[in-house]
Amino acid sequence: MAPLPAPRHICITGASSGIGEALALTYAEPGVRLLLTGQNQIRCKAIAEACRQRGAIVESVIVDVTDTDAMAVLLTAADDLQPLDLVIANAGIAESAADPRRVFEVNVLGVVNTVLPVIERMKQRRSGQIALVSSLAGYRGLPGAAAYSASKAAVRAWGEALRGSLAPYGIGVSTILPGFVVSRITDRNTFPMPFLMPADKAAALIRRRLGRNRARIAFPWQMALAGWLLSALPGWLCDRLVRRLPAKET
């Protein structure tokens, strides 16, 4: 599929910090309308204002992405106002030893709730782009982040499958697999994080590759290669290696 036109109406979930915040600021410019969602009202308000200062038209909404009905109403109304060109399903949470169900609800159901309301509309228009934020942890289940890596693997597989099924309708689908990116989640990590990337640098890279309609946006390349190789190793060897990895912070 050829590169897609520059998006003019963009939805970004989980825009209150980290990659979501950086993406909002990266896309904020005159002529662009942004629909930003998050859970923290103070942070969302500040990010929305920063985007307005850059010339964008911004709607900031506090919503739980696991609320199927609320997400459908929100996205349908936004698309009625102006057709959504790009939807970035970014909202996610880290590992939770106390409640792994919540990890799956946010990281998987939240992505589904973000994408499903716009698919049929984009198919009718035969245009649009969807980006699903997975993780390099989605290449292989990690003992220290069982629910997180499993949820991100589900997002990766779904995104890859959607790309093929939606391509005949002119819809681009990209799966984003970041390594360690500066955020509130990584701020809590006490272990070494190789190739830790600033959020603004990650967002700029994502925007460039979305513009080229890349199927998989995995970075940094060193970590992406390591993750891919890890998934290809024999099970017995992979088990030995991943047991040495630190647990993800809760």
- What's the pLDDT tens digit per position in 154-200? 999 999 999 999 999 999 999 999 998 886 666 566 656 676 789 99
The 10s digit of each residue's pLDDT in 200-249 is 999 999 999 999 999 999 998 888 887 887 777 676 665 666 666 665 55
Q: What is the DSSP secondary structure assignment for residue 156, as one 8-state letter?
A: H
The DSSP bridge partners found for residue 60 are: 36
Structure tokens at 42: 């103070």
The strand pair at 9-12 and 86-89 is best described as parallel
What residues are labeled active site? 148
The 10s digit of each residue's pLDDT in 37-91 is 999 999 999 999 999 999 999 999 999 999 999 999 999 999 999 999 999 999 9
Nearest to 92 by CA among 204, 9, 16: 16
pLDDT (0 to 100) of residue 240: 65
Mean pLDDT of 106-119: 98
| pTM for the structure as a whole | 0.89
> Distance from CA of residue 44 to its chain's centroid?
17
Residue 250, pLDDT > 50, answer: no
Nearest to 207 by CA among 1, 29, 69: 29
In contact, 92 and 150? CB cutoff 8 Å: no
In CATH, the architecture of 9-242 is: 3-Layer(aba) Sandwich (3.40)
Nearest 10 degrees: Cα torsion 61, 66, 72, 73: -40
